[in-house]
A and B are shown apart, each in its own frame.
Chain A
Amino acid sequence: MPSKKKDSAPKSAEAAAAAVPEEPQRTRLAVRKTYKLYVGGAFPRSESGRTYVVADSKGNFVANAAQASRKDARDAVLAARAAFGKWSGATAYNRGQVVYRVAEMLESRRDEFVSLEVPAAEVDAAVDRLVWYAGWTDKIAQVLGGANPVAGPYFNLSSPEPSGIVAIVAPRKPTLLGLVSVIAPVIATGNTCIVISDAPRVAITLAEVLATSDLPGGVVNILTGSAAEIGPWLASHADVNGVDLTGLADAKLAVTLEQAAAETLKRVRRPAAALDWSGDPGLVPMTAFLETKTVWHPKGL
Chain B
Amino acid sequence: MTATMTPLSEVTRSDAALRMFLHGLPGVDQVGAQARAAALGTRSIKTTAKAWAIDLSIRMVDLTTLEGADTPGKVRALCAKARQPDPSDPGCPPVAAICVYPAMVPVAAEALRGSGIHLASVATAFPSGQAPLSVKLDDTRAAVAAGADEIDMVISRGAFLAGRYLEVFEEIAAVKEACGDAHLKVILETGELVTYDNVRRASWLAMLAGGDFIKTSTGKVQPAATLPVTLIMLEAVRDFLAATGRKVGVKPAGGIRTTKDAIKYLVMVNETVGDGWLDPDWFRFGASTLLNDLLMQRTKLATGHYAGPDYFTLD
Contacts and interface: CB of A to CB of B under 8 A. Distances in A.
Instruction: Name the interface size band of chain A.
Output: 10 to 19
A239 B310 contact: yes
A116 interface: no
B174 interface: no
Nearest to B309: A239
B304 to A, nearest CB: 8
Contacts of A260: 305
B153 to A, nearest CB: 37
Contacts of A77: 306
A238 interface: yes
B306 A239 contact: yes
A233 interface: yes
Nearest to A239: B308
A56 interface: no
Contacts of B309: 239
**Chain B interface, >50% SS class:** loop
Contacts of A237: 305-306, 308
Nearest to A240: B308
B307 interface: yes
Contacts, number: 25
A260 B309 CA distance: 18
Contacts of A236: 304-306
Contacts of A240: 308
A112 interface: no
**Chain A interface, >50% SS class:** loop
Interface in A195-236: 233, 236
B292 to A, nearest CB: 12
Contacts of B308: 237-240, 264
Contact of B310 (A74, A233, A238): A238
Contacts of B307: 238-239
A263 interface: yes
B306 A74 contact: yes
Interface in B264-315: 304-311
A260 B303 CA distance: 12
B48 to A, nearest CB: 20
Contacts of B311: 238
B306 to A, nearest CB: 4
B309 to A, nearest CB: 7
A263 B305 CA distance: 10
Nearest to B296: A238
A143 to B, nearest CB: 29
Contacts of B305: 233, 236-238, 260, 263
Contacts of B310: 238-239
Interface string A228-267: 0000010011111000000000000000000010011000
A238 B309 CA distance: 8
A239 B309 CA distance: 7
A264 B307 CA distance: 10
B217 to A, nearest CB: 25
A49 to B, nearest CB: 14
A11 B233 CA distance: 83
Contacts of A233: 305-306
A233 B307 CA distance: 11
B310 to A, nearest CB: 7
A74 B260 CA distance: 14
A263 B311 CA distance: 13
Choose among B306, B309, B310, B311 the residue with the greatest number of A CB atoms under 10 Å from its CB. Answer: B306
A239 B308 CA distance: 4
Interface string B174-192: 0000000000000000000
Contacts of A238: 305-308, 310-311
17 contacts: A77-B306, A233-B306, A236-B304, A236-B305, A236-B306, A237-B305, A237-B308, A238-B307, A238-B308, A238-B311, A239-B306, A239-B307, A239-B308, A239-B309, A240-B308, A260-B305, A264-B308
Rank and list the top 3 A-B pairs by shortest CB-CB distance, nearest first: A239-B308, A238-B308, A236-B305
Given A238-B307, A238-B310, 13 more contacts: A233-B305, A233-B306, A236-B306, A237-B305, A237-B306, A238-B306, A238-B308, A238-B311, A239-B307, A239-B309, A240-B308, A260-B305, A264-B308
